[in-house]
Structure 1
């Protein structure tokens, strides 16, 4: 893979107003993209069926004059008949293990048919197509950190395969549409991202730890706590997405934070923010759970000058505030 020369990359704020359709707009990442693009003066059409998105995320923007919402399952089609689109951004999919294991067929379908429907729409409008893929395409990696050139170590029939293989197929069909039909594509592989608007029942480690700490419960650590993850704050991810839209590059790009933490180190960070000692309880490691996950970000650093800048402690504090406010509203 060639590495582009480092050049200043504008964000979408410097371009003319765009018309952007976002699938999964009521999801955690999708809703932050809606907010970013509306704030930059663009028109946004959100599409979601709420299988894992939240109505409250859509309600944030319903009164905005440049936002339109379509409730639809994109696996069955995208019922958009409006003006010419500049971008179709495919962010629809359950993304946490509890959700995609609850809806395995739906997860596979949104990665397969949903991606193709988005590509067809982009092709018809002469629009760019932006695919949200995942670090899960690397599986339980034998290479660390994981560069985009690594093909992964994925169990194709395991309990996580409905998500892993859906995203691997989504990448394959996106590249096929780019190569054979000239669609202007972008692919990102998102590494563990967190922040406000995550679902309370998300089931991923930061959500679990914060909720348990707020309720005074022991923090559930799977395995011995030595497995590692890197954690990227949502604002950093959205900035990386905005920058990549303006770069002419069509193959996958890792967007993640290279700072690596064990689960026990994360417990220590949670303890500091909670302001009191928290206890731990240990449970068996889930099937096919990766032992380590960390992005090689050389490509994104050179291509779009992207490197996450939000410290974990600050981001965790924001998540604490967000979930505390939800508890106070109930």
Structure 2
């Protein structure tokens, strides 16, 4: 039985990756400091003999007994609300944390995949964004703690690949949605659905003309899995190229939920990208991957998931435990 370490295992993406590797017969070691993750996302795995969980911060020395075949580094705040509240932890997990995990991969002779982001492209001057585009990022803006952390992660990963010969993969993840997302975490899908389900007006930042491209979680996990199993070490975009404006998306959510909310407009946050659409040519050619799940189908699944939450959970605002030392 091959063994895989997944960091950020109690998070949205990490927990779905745990499910996928368990399903495929791997022994999964999940690791999370729970600063933004939630054990509820993986509690269904605790009774399995092929799963173990370590409550640990990867910014500290990481030790795993026995052999390791793969490491997937998904430990990082991913929502604006989180990384603006914990900027130093955000910077550290993609720098110090990545350094620790690359060292572990070198020691164990394991293949490591690190989770980068479309945010490394910043507010892009090239559209759609391909992997050769270097980006348009403010290093000192409020979003820089996330954007630059991921850019450094990529540089560090490639340095270990070139200098130490570590077997590395880099995935650039575009907007992903699905069950287990947190309501009110600042990302578009749960924010709009939460407002609709609570009967609140839908908040659109700017005039709503900015664009996003939404990929359903099952498609995202399949793309990540194929990249891990490939022989390609340079970054690859994994996302859905079907672009929509935020205003159109808000109207789509109102239609889906059958609610009658108004759309209200607030100022656009600093450095918020105006366009986001992946060029997935490399994913198609190298991995044979492209998204299969239509947004209408995926949003219905997510809507049913959020509808199943208790009234208390729907009304709960985000109060995360950000007491960990930076």
TM over 0.5: yes
In structure 2, the residue matched to 1:61 is 45
> Given the two structures, how large is their TM-score scaled by the length of structure 1?
0.93
Query: Given the alignment of the two structures, is residue 29 of structure 1 paired with residue 13 of structure 2, yes or no?
Result: yes
Distance, in Å, in 2 between the alignment partners of 1:329 and 1:209 is 18
Q: Is the 8 A contact 2:215 2:239 kept in 1?
A: yes
In structure 1, the residue matched to 2:236 is 253
Q: Any unmatched runs of 5+ in structure 2?
A: 314-326
In structure 1, the residue matched to 2:275 is 292
Q: Any unmatched runs of 5+ in structure 1?
A: 1-16
Query: Given the alignment of the two structures, is residue 280 of structure 1 paired with residue 234 of structure 2, yes or no?
Result: no
Shift of 1:328: 5.1
Distance, in Å, in 1 between the alignment partners of 2:52 and 2:178 is 24
Distance, in Å, in 1 between the alignment partners of 2:61 and 2:267 is 40
Query: Given the alignment of the two structures, is residue 233 of structure 1 paired with residue 216 of structure 2, yes or no?
Result: yes
**TM-superposition CA deviations, 1:212-260 (whole Å, max 9, x none):** 1111111000000000000000000000011111110101000000000
183, 201, 204: which one aligns with 1:200 = 183
Shift of 1:268: 2.0
Distance, in Å, in 1 between the alignment partners of 2:100 and 2:184 is 29
Shift of 1:63: 0.8
In structure 2, the residue matched to 1:77 is 61
Task: Give aligned pairs, total.
Answer: 313
201, 205, 212: which one aligns with 2:195 = 212
Shift of 1:294: 0.5
Distance, in Å, in 2 between the alignment partners of 1:24 and 1:199 is 15
268-277 vs 18-27, greater mean Cα deviation: 268-277
106, 126, 136: which one aligns with 1:153 = 136
Cα root mean square deviation, aligned: 1.0
234, 244, 252: which one aligns with 1:269 = 252
Q: Is the 8 A contact 1:96 1:202 kept in 2?
A: yes
Query: Given the alignment of the two structures, is residue 318 of structure 1 paired with residue 318 of structure 2, yes or no?
Result: no
Q: Is the 8 A contact 1:52 1:99 kept in 2?
A: yes
| Greater length-normalized contact order (CA 8 Å, ≥ 6 residues apart) | 1
Distance, in Å, in 1 between the alignment partners of 2:135 and 2:163 is 25
In structure 2, the residue matched to 1:14 is none
Distance, in Å, in 1 between the alignment partners of 2:61 and 2:282 is 34
Q: Is the 8 A contact 1:72 1:79 kept in 2?
A: no
Q: Is the 8 A contact 2:199 2:259 kept in 1?
A: no
Q: Is the 8 A contact 1:43 1:66 kept in 2?
A: yes
**TM-superposition CA deviations, 1:29-62 (whole Å, max 9, x none):** 0000000000111100000001111121131211
52, 55, 59: which one aligns with 2:36 = 52
Q: Is the 8 A contact 1:54 1:199 kept in 2?
A: no
**TM-superposition CA deviations, 1:118-160 (whole Å, max 9, x none):** 1011110100010000000000000000000000000000000
Shift of 1:186: 0.4
In structure 1, the residue matched to 2:153 is 170
Shift of 1:98: 0.5
Provide the secondary structure at the position in 2 that maps to 1:229. strand
